[in-house]
Amino acid sequence: MPAGPAGWLGTGREIGMGRTTGAIGGGMGSGSGRFSGWRILKEGLTGNRGWRPHFRNPAPKPEYDVLIIGGGGHGLATAFYLAQEHGLTNVAVLEKGYLGGGNVGRNTTIVRANYGLPGNSEFYSHSLKLWEGMERELNFNTMMSQRGVLNLYHSDGQRDAFARRGNAMRNQGDDAELLDRAAVRRLVPYLDFDNARFPVHGGLLHRRGGTARHDAVAWGYARGADHRGVDLIQNCTVTGIDIVQGRVTGVQTTRGAIRAKKVGIVVAGRSSEVAAMAGMRLPIESHVLQAFVTEGLKPVIDHVVTFGMSHFYISQSDKGGLVFGGDLDFYASYAARGNLPMVEHVMEAGMTLMPMIGKARVLRSWGGIMDMSPDGSPIIDRTGVDGLYLNCGWCYGGFKAVPGSGFSFAHLVATDRPHAPAARFRLDRFATGRGLMDEEGTGAQHNLH
Residue ranges binding other proteins (CB under 8 A): 270, 272-273, 276, 281-286, 330-335, 339, 341, 374, 430-431, 445-447
- Residue 434 has what DSSP assignment? T
- CA–CA separation, 84 vs 384, rounded Å? 28
- CA–CA separation, 362 vs 295, rounded Å? 6
- CA–CA separation, 380 vs 426, rounded Å? 6
Contact criterion met (CB below 8 Å) for 71 and 94: yes
Closest to other proteins by CB, 186 vs 281, is 281
Closest CB 332 distance from other proteins, rounded Å: 5
What is the DSSP code string of 291-360? EEEEEE-SS---SEEEETTTTEEEEE-TTSEEEEEEEEEEEE--SS---HHHHHHHHHHHHHH-GGGGGS
Closest to other proteins by CB, 188 vs 289, is 289
Closest to other proteins by CB, 196 vs 431, is 431
Strand order in the sheet with 285-296: 177-180, 202-206, 149-153, 304-307, 312-316, 321-332, 285-296, 362-372
Q: Exposed, middle or buried by CB within 10 Å (0-12, 13-18, 19+), for 74?
A: buried
387: left (phi > 0), else alpha (psi -120 to 50), else beta? left
* Partners of 177 in beta bridges: 205
Closest CB 334 distance from other proteins, rounded Å: 4
Closest CB 282 distance from other proteins, rounded Å: 7
Closest CB 433 distance from other proteins, rounded Å: 9
Closest CB 247 distance from other proteins, rounded Å: 23
Closest CB 72 distance from other proteins, rounded Å: 17
Closest to other proteins by CB, 249 vs 447, is 447
Closest to other proteins by CB, 70 vs 283, is 283
Closest to other proteins by CB, 80 vs 366, is 366
In a 13 Å sphere around the CA of 29, the CA atoms on its Cβ side amount to: 21
Closest to other proteins by CB, 200 vs 265, is 265
Total residue count of the chain as it appears in this document: 449
How many C-beta neighbours within 10 Å does residue 371 have? 25
Contact criterion met (CB below 8 Å) for 368 and 12: no
Closest CB 419 distance from other proteins, rounded Å: 24
Closest CB 446 distance from other proteins, rounded Å: 5
Closest to other proteins by CB, 308 vs 367, is 367
What is the Rg, in whole angstroms, of the alpha carbon atoms belonging to the chain? 21
Closest to other proteins by CB, 167 vs 445, is 445
Closest CB 337 distance from other proteins, rounded Å: 8
* Partners of 203 in beta bridges: 152, 179
The continuous run of DSSP H or E covering 232 comes out as: strand 231-233
